[in-house]
Structure 1
């Protein structure tokens, strides 16, 4: 069963339950009102008969052919307007009545009304024999094919009881009609609710069906360059927008992955070719001169080192390209991270590196930020090969700037130095993979900032990155 059918059935079920409850309550309310009206009429008739106003009843031998007999207990010949006769018996407010007296010993005496004798129960005999004046009992009894509602009222002091009954067949017919009408209305409400529910479910699920179609198409074909129509600002509209955003990010991630693989394959080809060549030469290792042997070994070691470095950079770049949820959220003292990076470069190169920090503390990835600063310092040490002047690392308000006294960066290369595997002409002969500054850019952007490059006032280059100011800790001693 699909979602549309479930929603339609749910709407129909809710409507059916509500309509059923309303119908049942309405029927009970109507029934109570009709029965209450009959009981009120029976009490009024009982009071009138008990006070001798028997003219409301026709004589017992009332003629069905229209002859009127004398009234019992002072009743007239039926010409009295209070008789209210209609057809085959007397009526009060349109209802046919019958009255009889029950003596204390249980005998029945007809008073007037319809020519029927009401059955007497033990409870009614007890009420006639010992009941207190005014005590009543109401029952419904069947006499032949008719149903009567009987009100028995004790007269007290051994005077027996008075019974007045009304034919309720007509009332029951009315209630039956009401019940049928309520059932038909409830059925109509159910049908309308089911149709409305189906229409509403169709309007809701048609957009969901579109989303399912796109998801199935992506699963089947792997295509990511798809767009889902976005309509409305409800949950389905938000889901459509989120799905579009997800597809865009997946497409971008796939493009980055393909570009990374292609660039990596290109960069790996050179050292691997060199290693294969050296491996072929090593088959004649014994025939080589000592100088050639040393040069061959140095070449193999150098190419192996470069290959290892390239693999490390690729792994680092792959890790730095993960989603924001993997960036980390720990306090990182940028000056402390810079000092650790500077110490490593000092040990490797012997260069002088000065770190000047303002106490900026950033919430982010400790490893990522440390790696970005280390790449900047190593890059500066590599290009400033003379080493006469120290390298300066300056940190202000979450902005890290590394300044060297090297040849600087040409204007045509400034906008490309952060691209993967890009190497300027002046760096072609230098070691490196061309991924160091790419990692700097990835780390900066993952922390809401961006990388930058500029010429140093005294020559050389100023390269660095910033982070989003919102990531700065309020406790940072910034100036």
Structure 2
């Protein structure tokens, strides 16, 4: 069953329940009121009989009651009186009935009525509905006490039953009409409510077949739950489309970059077929070239893997002391490159993934060590309030390259002759963005470059209070 049908059925069920409850309460109230009015008439007639029997019997020949009765096909029409005559019957102490007045109808004498007539106290009574002369009657039996028997008065209630039956039919019809109206209103409201959900479901089905690019712009509007759901779904589709585009771009760039070392290896493999014809020096150069290309190919594959998993790495987040992280990265950079690294860090602690952050800083340090012309010139790391900056004294960055150095596989003119794949800074950017931050680059005063990244301010758990450490990596001695 569709959601729209469920809404319609729910509205119909609620309407039916409300109509039934209201109808039952209305019918019960009307029935109780009519019965109470009939009982009041019987009690009044009984009191009148006890006080003045002759006069009461004369009046009982035509006791009228019209306001509560509705004219039927065989009843008096509008403006006429619907007469109900009171039947009066006396019971002797032994239960023998004697008709006193009203229509000549013999009322049935029950065991309870005989008990009241024989031993009931004065005024003790009970009311019951009995059948006499083929019609329903409302009967009141009252004990006279003192061995005088009992007095029974009754009035025919067939017309009352007819009225109540008509009311029940009208209530049932009204309840059915209310249920149908509620179902119709529920269907219209459900159609209006679910219209945007139906459209959203259709878009989801189309996207599942044709991909995120098939999603139309502006799915549905509104500020309610459906509107928020549509907005979230739209953002999810945008992210899926961006991820797919980035994936395709990465595959294309990777294929382009892998083509060069593979071509070189293929060429060297062809040359190796004639290895016996080469001189020892040529063989050594060839093997060195194969080894270098293989090493570069392995490094490229590693960086491609790192880049592909940078955003989706299943690494738990935890508080990270950026000063300690900078020291570890500096030690590793010194062991790999032999370049001194100065660390100037405050006591900032951020919430993030420590391995990813350390990898990003390591890439910056290796990049700076690669471009610095003098091995004796140290690289500087500065940590301030969630921002990490690496400074070197290399050739610097040309203005046209500043906005592109973090792109995948982009290499400046000065870097083309150096080893590397152009993925290191792209990994830095992805790590920064996965922590809600940004990257930056620019020239350094006095020559060189400043390259770094910052994390989102919401991830900073403790703000730094200025420089608390200035360290230098020294081979064999750790920190000085």
Q: TM-score, normalised by structure 1?
A: 0.90
**Structure 2 counterpart of 1:19:** 19
Q: Could you say which residue in structure 2 is the equivalent of 1:35?
A: 35
Structure 1 residue 334: Cα displacement = 1.2
- In structure 2, what is the equivalent of residue 338 of structure 1? 326
Q: Find 1:465's aligned residue among 447, 453, 456.
A: 453
Unaligned runs of 5+ in 1: 59-70
Counterparts of 1:145 and 1:231, CA distance in 2 = 71
Whether the aligned pair in 2 keeps the contact of 1:57 and 1:83 (CA below 8 Å) is: no
Matches of 1:234 and 1:56 in 2, distance apart?
A: 74
How far does residue 56 in structure 1 lie from its aligned partner after superposition? 3.7
**Aligned 8 A contact 1:224 1:250 in 2:** no
Superposed, 1:52-451 pairs within 5 Å as: 52-58=52-58, 94-227=83-216, 228-322=218-312, 328-451=316-439
- Offset at residue 285 of structure 1 (A): 2.2
Distance 2:425 2:11 in 1: 60
Cα distance, 1:456–1:126 mapped onto 2, change above 3 Å: same
Q: CA deviation at 1:310?
A: 0.8
Q: CA RMSD in A?
A: 2.2
Q: 1:32 to 1:374 in 2, by over 3 A?
A: same
C-alpha contact 2:372 2:393 (8 A) present in aligned 1: yes
Distance in 1 (CA, whole Å) between partners of 2:327 and 2:26 is 84
CA contact (8 A) 1:225 1:247 kept: no
Q: Give deviations 1:161-193, integer Å, cap 9, x for gaps.
A: 110101111111111111111111101101110
What SS is found at the alignment partner of 1:224?
helix
Instruction: Tell me the distance in 2 between the aligned counterparts of 1:299 and 1:85.
Output: 122
Task: Decide whether the 8 Å contact of 2:106 with 2:133 is kept in 1.
Answer: no
Kept in 2, the 8 Å contact 1:448–1:467? The answer is yes
Is the CA contact (8 Å cut-off) linking 1:97 and 1:114 kept in structure 2? yes
Poorly superposed stretches of 4+, deviation over 4 Å: 82-88, 475-479
Note the residue ranges of structure 2 that are not aligned, 5 or more in a row. Answer: 67-74, 468-480
Task: Please state how far the C-alpha of 1:346 moved relative to its aligned partner.
Answer: 0.9
1:322 positional shift = 3.1
Of 415-424 and 310-319, more deviation after overlay is shown by 310-319
The answer for the alignment partner of 1:64 in structure 2 is none
Structure 2: distance between partners of 1:251 and 1:327? 25
- Residue 94 of structure 1 deviates from its aligned partner by 4.7
Q: Is the 8 A contact 1:147 1:167 kept in 2?
A: yes
Residue-by-residue CA offset, 1:53-96 (whole Å, 9 max, x unaligned):
443434xxxxxxxxxxxx9xxx9xx7xxx8669999xxx99532
CA contact (8 A) 1:55 1:83 kept: no
Q: CA deviation at 1:336?
A: 1.4
> 199-208 or 226-235, which moves further after superposition?
226-235
**CA distance in 2 between partners of 1:472 and 1:33 (Å):** 76
Secondary structure (helix, strand or coil) at the match of 1:166 reads strand
Change (3 A) 1:84 1:262: closer
Residue 454 of structure 1: aligned partner: 442
Q: Which has the higher contact order (CA 8 A, sep 6+)?
A: 2
Deviation at 1:478, TM superposition (A): 5.0
Separation (CA, whole Å) in 2 of partners of 1:366 and 1:424 = 30
The Cα shift of 1:204 comes to: 1.6
Question: What SS does the aligned partner of 2:399 have?
Answer: coil
What is the distance in 2 between the residues matched to 1:298 and 1:56? 137
Q: Following TM superposition, by how much is the alpha carbon of 1:388 offset from its aligned partner in structure 2, in angstroms?
A: 2.6
**Count of aligned positions:** 454
- Residue deviations 1:345-367 (CA, integer Å, cap 9, x gap): 21122111111111111101111
SS of 1:57's equivalent in the other structure is helix
| Structure-2 change in CA distance of 1:51 and 1:245 (3 Å) | same
Residue matched to 1:7: 7
Deviation at 1:284, TM superposition (A): 2.0
TM-score (normalizing by structure 2): 0.90
Residue 184 of structure 1 aligns to a residue whose secondary structure is helix
Distance in 2 (CA, whole Å) between partners of 1:205 and 1:85 is 57
